[in-house]
Structure 1
């Protein structure tokens, strides 16, 4: 992987593919960039993709103390490395980071986010606050396995999914990434969509969700991501709201790349759309 240095000197590792307009892919929780690799490969047919490992993950470094602004500076460093204004794609909590980066004034042409897990009601906001408190204690005590399990339960994983994950070969890797759950929590703030900051984003934004049930998130109510997406889209000056039928929380890279390609290359008017 290639490396760029962020403003605070932190090493940020990334993989560059393709040619054409720049798209930077921002991963979500417990992801070191691997989850976006297939999507980056598909987009590289038409774009120059920068798929990076967020700080504290994979081959990227980390510098204490953590702050959301440092992660925004990491994206800015990638934009600088690309040498031109960029498009951003963020999945899950990475979508919240992408929106915060655009709201901060980075050189961003457009933004696409998929299933950003903001909370749309008071009960979920309270549940989120409890999760953050518990996560802080577990990480402070070095109980990384318990922190991952706590996150999975928050995300609606079943007992069977949690048990299966803990006995799987990829579980140790999740434990290594556990401290970055606090970074994702910081990106989501108090859990509610930051409508005031979202209103600052004048660039076109695609706000997408999947239209199919996800068997690994069965504990979440079916409308969870749609309610958050509707609130995000309503706060943005130039939002295109899309529901992609049949897709779950991890969308099929080939079909989703076609949606992103159309959005990133089009300059039409923005309206509520369902695919």
Structure 2
């Protein structure tokens, strides 16, 4: 069951109840075949990147931009499991009326891949730089990285959890993170610290590429990477594209991991409308 209300931004806001009773909130824009957007770390419904993608695709598609559990307006029923996040995505696709195209960015791309391996309702799949560690330049994360994040959050040390994630997983220099602590948006990042544990669960120990599951995905797929992103992310993109049967791989010139929506949209639109 889902509910929907109008907003002043051209989007309508709705909610759907996931299999475990968790309310998942989404913004819906446009009309046409359904596209569902899956966010990565620190982002959610209303973030400028995927809001820009949703707005640009709306003339051709009905785009669902949703808050993953634990973020924004969505609920957060314990205990967390990746399977429950996949059920959340399934619930959003059901609210969209059935099979849908799915686009995921960063760790949201990894979640989209995990979902596509399990849900036939994913009709097409596009991902932006899922951060698997496949090359020598990738960050070295311990197998208990998620447990370390969880321990910090449970002890109320949310800022330290954010700092650990940013430095160890996102390779942001420690000095830059220290400067970020003085910015107005740091409080919002701390508020999402518990979801970093979820990101670690989605990626799995060591961010290892789940080759067997990805190789079993038999839907049309597109992998996108940025020409100016770290080399290890390019390695990951190529590895995903090689593993996904028949996947296309596109490199976006001038783009880093913090990709601009106007760079994504032409590639996504071409792929989504292709037969």
TM over 0.5: yes
Give the structure 2 partner of residue 216 of structure 1.
none
Give the alignment partner of residue 241 of structure 1, picking from 245, 249, 253: 249
Structure 1 residues 128 and 96: alpha-carbon distance in aligned structure 2, compared to 1, 3 A threshold: farther
- Extract structure 1 runs of 4+ deviating beyond 6 A: none
The answer to whether the 8 Å contact 1:18/1:45 transfers is yes
Consecutive unaligned residues of structure 1, counting only runs of 5 or more, are: 214-221, 268-275
Give the structure 1 partner of residue 189 of structure 2.
174
The answer to whether the 8 Å contact 1:125/1:192 transfers is no
The offset of 1:134, in angstroms, is 2.5
CA distance in 2, matches of 1:111, 1:171: 32
RMSD of aligned C-alpha atoms? 1.6
The offset of 1:47, in angstroms, is 1.0
The offset of 1:179, in angstroms, is 0.1
The offset of 1:176, in angstroms, is 0.8
Three-state SS of the structure 1 residue aligned to 2:134 is: coil
The answer to whether the 8 Å contact 1:91/1:115 transfers is yes
The offset of 1:188, in angstroms, is 0.5
| 1:9 to 2:21 alignment | yes
Give the alignment partner of residue 76 of structure 2, picking from 59, 62, 82: 62
- Per-residue displacement from partner, 1:52-76 (whole Å, max 9, x unpaired)? 0000000000100001010000011
Give the structure 2 partner of residue 210 of structure 1.
226
Q: TM-score, normalised by structure 2?
A: 0.90
Q: TM-score, normalised by structure 1?
A: 0.90
CA distance in 1, matches of 2:215, 2:164: 32
CA distance in 2, matches of 1:126, 1:157: 14
The offset of 1:140, in angstroms, is 2.5
CA distance in 1, matches of 2:242, 2:85: 26
| 1:196 to 2:208 alignment | no
- Per-residue displacement from partner, 1:18-38 (whole Å, max 9, x unpaired)? 011111000001112233212
CA distance in 2, matches of 1:141, 1:119: 29
Three-state SS of the structure 2 residue aligned to 1:127 is: coil
Three-state SS of the structure 2 residue aligned to 1:132 is: helix
Consecutive unaligned residues of structure 2, counting only runs of 5 or more, are: 1-12
The answer to whether the 8 Å contact 1:10/1:63 transfers is yes
What is the number of residues matched between the two proteins? 259
CA distance in 2, matches of 1:128, 1:262: 39
